[in-house]
Amino acid sequence: MKFNIEEILEIMPHRYPFLLIDRIQSINDDEVVGIKNVTYNEPFFQGHFPSDPIMPGVLIIESMVQAGGFLLLKKLDEPKKKTVYFGSINRVRFKNPVRPGDVLTHRVKLSAFRSNFCKLVGKSFVGDKIVAEGEFTASIVDRKGV
């Protein structure tokens, strides 16, 4: 099953400039493949670094976890009433830089899901090269203002 940006916006609470996934390529009960198209117009490239633009690692991780958050929200009966709070980061490694024009592909698996607490394991790729990987925890909470 695929989801475009409009369908992502229906579920995710994130908005510009902090929505960092553009498409869900596939999703099942315990795994999601999310896509982030990296363009030179991203606001962070103005300062990171003007002469050698590289996507900040923390934003690669945020994008990966947003894909995982989409997976978690899709498991719920009323996803528009919930949000996912990032809890922890473990075993994160950055392997290659991400530059303007790259397409980030995040593969995120749900390794544990109890009540409102979740563990995720993810890897991000540009083409067939791994650029980042890590393990994460998150909690599902009531969305404010809904």
Task: For residue range 103-141, list pLDDT tens digits in order.
Answer: 999 999 999 999 899 999 999 999 999 999 999 999 999
pLDDT at position 146 over 90: no
Write the Ramachandran bin of 91: left for phi over 0, alpha for psi from -120 to 50, otherwise beta.
Answer: left
As a whole number of angstroms, the distance between CA 101 and CA 65 comes to 21
- Would you name the residues annotated as active-site residues? 48
- Indicate the fold that domain 5-142 takes in CATH: Thiol Ester Dehydrase; Chain A (3.10.129)
Residue range 9-43, pLDDT digits in tens: 999 999 999 999 999 999 999 999 999 999 999 99
DSSP states of 46-106: GTS-TTS----HHHHHHHHHHHHHHHHHHTSS-GGGEEEEEEEEEEEEE-S---TT-EEEE
* Whether the model pTM is above 0.85: yes
Write the Ramachandran bin of 57: left for phi over 0, alpha for psi from -120 to 50, otherwise beta.
Answer: alpha
Residue 35 CB partners (closer than 8 Å, separation 6+):
21, 22, 23, 24, 25, 103, 104, 105, 106
Structure token pair of residue 108? 């995120």
How high is the pLDDT of residue 65?
A: 97
Domain boundaries along the sequence of the chain: 5-142
Residue range 42-77, pLDDT digits in tens: 999 999 999 999 999 999 999 999 999 999 999 999
Residue range 69-112, pLDDT digits in tens: 999 999 999 999 999 999 999 999 999 999 999 999 999 999 99
How high is the pLDDT of residue 30?
A: 97
As a whole number of angstroms, the distance between CA 38 and CA 1 comes to 23
How high is the pLDDT of residue 115?
A: 86
